[in-house]
Amino acid sequence: MTGWSDYRDFWAGVGERFPDLAGAASTRYYSDNERRLFAEHFPPLEGLRILKTDLWDEAKNTRILAWAARQGAGAYGIDISEPTAIRARESFRRETAVLRGAVADVRSLPFRDASFDAIYSMGTIEHFDETERAVEEIARVLKPGGRAIVGVPNRHDPFLRPLFAAALQAVGLYGYGYEKSYSRRALRRMLERTGLDVVAETAILFIPGWLRMLDLACHSWCRPLSWMTGALVRPFVFLDRHVPAVRRHGYLLATVVVKPVQQDGRREAGLPAG
């Protein structure tokens, strides 16, 4: 079992050395996918108290939580990496948004029971050995009737990203460290074991993993070639927008859950989606 300090030290290094990925063609595609998830599966964001279970996007990637804050949401976020949390706060300040952030572990969230109307956990829990403990914590701090979107790598990605990531990890070239992938069924069962009700199953990022990585590499270290990777990304953006069926096959599963409300022993539905 990997300890807190091991995870903290690894992710602190990642937060220090990774370049900012905002502006890459594949990051814009990622951002569009996330905003669609919020629009389709969360209630209206105005006044919504929302927790994000890591701050990587806010420090380096899509800035989705800052976008939600600009729509009127109360934005809360945690990250195990102090450098990442610091950069996320700096990013929020630049966007004149307010982040209530903390350095913390998703397996032991520093919040009271039933604290949040919505939780967004995309690409977090698969990096920890105790994945089910992280899911239990998400369920604990979600209000009855609240919604969460939980995303993990898709084991059945048609472009075989899990195999590509495992090969890179085996030779020490995968920058995101330990990572598990899940089938849609396995993710659903894990969420249901905590008492959450699954109400929708989709995915984001219908794009080969190698293309996402190549696009980020060109954006970060060889900007003159980013036009080429941008051109390669565009057909996948087109398919995503015009052939909705492909969305279920993205390389990040996204399962939407509701924490049931108990009324006189009966389970009732929670907040409606937007």
Give residue limits of the domains in the chain. 4-260
Tell whether the model's pLDDT for residue 271 goes beyond 80. no
Beta-bridge mates of residue 181: none
Q: How far apart are CA 170 and CA 250, in angstroms?
A: 24
Q: How far apart are CA 113 and CA 137, in angstroms?
A: 9
pLDDT band at 178 (very low <50, low <70, confident <90, very high): confident
Which residue type sits at 93? R
pLDDT band at 166 (very low <50, low <70, confident <90, very high): confident
Tell whether the model's pLDDT for residue 274 goes beyond 80. no
pLDDT band at 267 (very low <50, low <70, confident <90, very high): low
Which residue, 152, 151, 179, 12, is CA-closest to 80? Answer: 12
Beta-bridge mates of residue 256: 149, 200
Burial of 191 (0-12, 13-18, 19+ CB in 10 A): buried
- pLDDT tens digits for range 103-150: 999 999 999 999 999 999 999 999 999 999 999 999 999 999 999 999
**Rg, Å, the chain Cα set:** 18
- pLDDT tens digits for range 200-218: 999 999 999 999 999 999 9
pLDDT at 142 (0 to 100): 99
Q: How far apart are CA 184 and CA 250, in angstroms?
A: 11
Residue 122: CB atoms within 10 Å:
24
What DSSP element (H or E) covers 23? none
Q: CB neighbours of 180 closer than 8 A, spacing ≥ 6?
A: 126, 127, 131, 152, 153
CATH of 4-260 among 3.40.50.150, 3.40.50.300, 3.30.420.40, 3.20.20.370: 3.40.50.150
DSSP, collapsed to helix, strand or coil, labels residue 210 as: helix
What average pLDDT does the chain have?
A: 93
Least confident of 19-23, 118-122, 156-160, 260-264: 260-264
- pLDDT tens digits for range 83-115: 999 999 999 999 888 999 999 999 999 999 999
Over residues 13-28, mean pLDDT: 91
Angle in degrees, 0-180, between the axes of helices 209-221 and 161-170, rounded to the nearest 10: 60
pLDDT at 174 (0 to 100): 82
Q: CB neighbours of 27 closer than 8 A, spacing ≥ 6?
A: 21, 61, 62, 216, 219
